[in-house]
Amino acid sequence: MKRVLKLVTMSIVAIVTFGCAQNFYNIPKETYEKKVRVLGVAPIFVDADSDIKHPEKEALLTVVKEADRQNERELVRMLKESGKYFSVRFVEGDADLLFTKLLARKEKRDDAGVVYNKYFFQPQEVRQLITDNSVDALLLLVVSGISKQDKVSSSNLFSYLETNYNDLIITAQILDADNTLLWEYPNFRQSGRSYQGLLPLQYPDFDEAAANETDKVELKFKTIAGITRALQKKEKDVLSRELRVSRRYYGVFDDIMTLLTPSKGLFGDGK
């Protein structure tokens, strides 16, 4: 009996300790909550100069930008409903012009196996945008292309192709008027979480290989029509009713919300 009680006690301590360790901010969470009461959300940017290898790149960029405009305000709504901020404001403006104005440089990163593009922004432009919109901090999201090693299995799980795949991903940052990075996505230095992208642009054609009796599996790009349908497919609620937001974008937004609003601790104190 004593052994059982000891195991239960150790489990509770482990759960509480794990909960306390989940701080995805670059500053103390309490400091962030006091500092950022009004959050500005910029239009979703697309980095056209990133590693996008699709043969119909211009058509793809058009589709993605249209999808951004259709879904970006859903994130604003989700942030408002979280109750975490006094106010959440959408920053009006042309996404392409804003991105050109704000961008300073970028780097391809590989942090603990998570491959993504990290963006750095012009301090003066960030400050001006924050001042003009009367917000405490700015949430910036960027859609970009990335090539990374991955292993994709066939539907029957008997075959797989491990190679470099070209994907679309979304990264996000929250910056204050001093251009201090308060929060970022991905930021898994403390968690070991997986990082989902927006949309894989390629797929291995296992069916064609099987039909031709060959072990050589071709890597193909998805069609623009297929990508459009994937980005337009709506998320559904618990009653299977379609929501206004794309299923692909909702997956990323939900991940961001989870990291911005950590679940409460074992005893409901949020620590």
Instruction: Provide the pLDDT for residue 66.
Output: 98
Instruction: Provide the pLDDT for residue 24.
Output: 67
Going along the chain from its start, the domains and CATH numbers come out as: 24-153+168-198+249-260 (3.40.50)
pTM for this entry: 0.86
Instruction: Provide the pLDDT for residue 192.
Output: 54
CA distance 41 to 256: 13
Instruction: Provide the pLDDT for residue 240.
Output: 81
N residues, the chain: 271
Instruction: Provide the pLDDT for residue 187.
Output: 79
Tell me: the pLDDT tens digits for 199-237?
Answer: 999 999 998 988 999 989 999 999 999 999 999 999 998
Instruction: Provide the pLDDT for residue 27.
Output: 86
| Amino acid in the structure at residue 165 | Y
Instruction: Provide the pLDDT for residue 224.
Output: 98
CA distance 54 to 104: 25
Reduced to 3 states, what is the DSSP secondary structure of residue 101? helix
Instruction: Provide the pLDDT for residue 261.
Output: 75
Instruction: Provide the pLDDT for residue 15.
Output: 41
Token code pair at residue 258: 């989870």
Give the helix, strand, coil percentages of the chain, each rounded to 5. 35, 30, 35
pLDDT digits (tens), the chain, 271 positions: 444 444 444 444 444 334 444 556 788 889 999 999 999 999 999 999 999 999 999 999 999 999 999 999 999 999 999 999 999 999 999 999 999 999 999 999 988 788 999 999 999 999 999 999 999 999 999 999 999 999 999 888 788 899 999 999 999 999 999 999 999 999 765 555 668 899 999 999 998 988 999 989 999 999 999 999 999 999 998 878 888 899 999 999 999 998 887 544 434 444 3
**Long-range CB contacts (< 8 A, 24+ apart) of 243-251?**
244/74, 245/71, 245/74, 246/67, 246/70, 246/71, 248/67, 248/198, 248/199, 249/67, 249/71, 249/74, 249/75, 249/198, 250/71, 250/74, 251/196
CA distance 156 to 146: 27
CA distance 262 to 270: 8
Instruction: Provide the pLDDT for residue 171.
Output: 97
